[in-house]
Chains A and B, each alone.
Chain A
Amino acid sequence: MSALETSATVSPRASADRRVEVKGLSKSFQLARTTIEAVRDVSFDVRRGEFVALLGPSGSGKSTVLNMIASLIRPTGGEILIDGKRVVAGKATADVGYVFQRDTLFPWRTVGDNIGYGLELSGVPAHERKERIAECVAQAGLRGFENAYPSALSGGMRQRAALMRTLIVEPQILLMDEPFGALDTHTKIDMHEVLLRIWEREQQTVLFVTHDLGEALTLADRIILFSARPGRIKDMFEVDFVRPRDAVKVRETEHYAELFQHIWHSLGEEFVRGRIT
């Protein structure tokens, strides 16, 4: 499972195609006079169009890493480059979309207006906006709910609307922080299908934070495993199931079971370590 093994499946331009470079990233928080080291010296690259899962137990700093990439948190050390440009905390990077763990749909806007929010910000005229909202609404299976307020929707529908609100501006890099963590198993697998189909079509670069190994295996090309606090990269695994994947059927294959076992062992150690410390 070395990185070399997959380089064959990527285009020869791969080295020039690094979209996200994370270099020696670390982060400490000050909490009531004690310093908590959340992330220690994390480095990795993500290629153009690659789907990477950041996997680890809670408290392993994987969300913190994602939030630093998203410019929401200022790193204590190290740097992040997106397309060669340095990420500055507090300044959103163009072309980067973010999907939150908890859907942050604006409750005072209808579902349609929530989805079209990004277009509104950039001044897309109303008639064009309407067309593109309609497309997204159809894609998310939310037809008939355009004029409903988010509070009237189920959790899965809300998260689909939130996903569309991010995707409508066509970001080339998608950061997702346990976006389906609050959903039940069935809804979650539905969402995996939705996300896989969109990703196959648009080929965004995706960084997907999760603590669910099954989810990481279903979706990702590569899994970066984080250790329990302080978060470091413990291991990396290539996930080489054929594309396009079926979110249900992929779990039935033997190869899935093998990989699951293999990674589970390593992840399990961190679960235990995280519990003791």
Chain B
Amino acid sequence: MRRHGALSTVGWQVLICAIVLSVWQWGYDLRTRLPWLVPDLLDPYFISKPSMIFDNFLIQSCLTSKLGAFNGWFNGDFGKCLARNENNLWAATAITLKNTFFGFVTGVVSGFVAGLILGRSDRLSAIFQPFITAVNSIPRIALAPIIVLAFGIGDMSKIVTSWIVVVFLVFFNTFEGARSIDEGFTNAARLLGASEWQITRTVVIPSTMAWVFASLTPAISFALIGVIVGEFIGAERGIGRLIIESEARGEASGMMVAVVVLMLVGVVLSAIIWRLQAYLLRWQRQRGAE
């Protein structure tokens, strides 16, 4: 029964994909016959269409220089194409990923440490509370132009933008987690002779982990958003830059290629976090056994 249910779930998913892609690909062709049914938005000028996006992907990724003919891997055409275009799809993805990674890691580490310290100290949290509330009320993305102005159009401005959107998210979750630790656990540890540092390491951090992980999936998306916005505002390379260039040329398929790549990147990064969480929080999975 269960197995049958799972299969039909996948079946439905494939069907939905097929319908969406078909409408996208051929929907606008119906306009001549059924103009009342097809909205303007389906115009490939705005949203391109799957076949054009695929062709554009082949070109931007240097897999082909001319439609219908693939670049040879060994005759050097692929390498020459990459060298000709500094912001080819591969290089752009790599640079965006790199900056996302650094923004994410610095944001998570600093947010976690700050959340832990303030969460465990009533005095510090009382002192900093109004500042944190104030800064948190700023839509962080609004700071992106200032950051690009301050840090230039290189990688640093992207990392900082990404950091600033991630750090608060992780900070608040860690803070809440550190506040809501079961006193029974800390008492038990203390009575078994744990020092304050041992309590932090063996009780506070593990029991805060579930809260931290709850923030990591949105944090990785935020990190990516931060980098892309930074690249929109000023960059020489990166996927955000690709989108801006395609937009300037009025080339919807070029933008769509970038969007699809971002989607794939987002899916892969979330999957990595999910696996990491399943491993580190494996003790939670047995809860159902009770």
Contact = CB atoms under 8 A, between A and B. Distances in A.
Q: Do A and B bind each other?
A: yes
Interface of A: 70-72, 92, 94, 96-98, 100, 102, 104, 106-110, 117-118, 120-122, 148-149, 151-152, 165-166, 169
B286 A169 contact: no
Contacts of A72: 187, 191
Contacts of B202: 106, 117, 120-121
A13 B203 CA distance: 42
| Residue from B187, B191, B206 having most chain A Cβ neighbours under 10 A | B191
Contacts, number: 70
B185 A149 contact: no
Interface string B178-197: 00001011011111111000
B209 interface: yes
B128 interface: no
Contacts of A94: 193
A106 B203 CA distance: 8
| Residue from A96, A102, A121, A166 having most chain B Cβ neighbours under 10 A | A121
A151 B290 contact: yes
B188 A100 contact: yes
A98 B193 contact: no
A100 B189 CA distance: 12
Contact of A96 (B191, B194, B209, B284): B191
B283 A149 contact: yes
A148 B284 CA distance: 12
Given A100-B184, A106-B185, A152 B286 contact: yes
Range class of the B interface residue count: 20 to 34
Question: Which 9 A/B pairs are nearest by Cβ-Cβ distance?
Answer: A104-B188, A104-B184, A118-B192, A98-B191, A108-B206, A149-B283, A152-B289, A108-B283, A151-B286
Interface string B59-101: 0000000000000000000000000000000000000000000
8 contacts: A92-B193, A94-B193, A96-B191, A100-B184, A148-B286, A149-B286, A151-B286, A152-B286
Interface of B: 182, 184-185, 187-194, 198, 202-203, 206-207, 209, 281-284, 286-287, 289-290
A151 B283 contact: yes
Contact of A92 (B182, B190, B281): B190
A121 B193 contact: yes
A72 B290 CA distance: 31
- SS class, residues of chain B in contact with chain A: helix
Contacts of B188: 98, 100, 104, 106, 165
Nearest to A175: B191
Contact of B184 (A97, A102, A152): A102
Contacts of A169: 192-193
Nearest to A107: B283
A96 B192 CA distance: 8
Nearest to B184: A104
A121 B203 CA distance: 12
A118 B206 CA distance: 17
Given A98-B191, A121-B193, A151 B289 contact: yes
A96 B193 CA distance: 9
A195 to B, nearest CB: 18
A70 B290 contact: no
A166 B192 contact: yes
Contacts of B284: 107
Given A104-B188, A151-B287, 5 more contacts: A92-B192, A92-B193, A100-B187, A106-B188, A106-B203
B205 to A, nearest CB: 10
| Residue from A97, A151, A165, A166 having most chain B Cβ neighbours under 10 A | A151
Contacts of A148: 286
A111 to B, nearest CB: 11
Nearest to B205: A108
| Residue from B187, B206, B290 having most chain A Cβ neighbours under 10 A | B187
Contacts of A97: 191-192
A143 B208 CA distance: 30
A156 to B, nearest CB: 13
Nearest to B194: A121
Nearest to A91: B190
Contacts of A96: 191
Nearest to B210: A108
Contacts of B184: 100, 102, 104
A92 B195 CA distance: 10
Contacts of B190: 92
Contacts of B287: 151
A49 to B, nearest CB: 21
A219 B239 CA distance: 73
A104 B187 contact: yes
Nearest to A166: B192
Contacts of A110: 283
B198 A121 contact: yes
Nearest to A155: B290
A106 B193 contact: no
Contacts of A121: 189, 192-194, 198, 202
Contacts of A92: 190-193
A165 B192 contact: yes
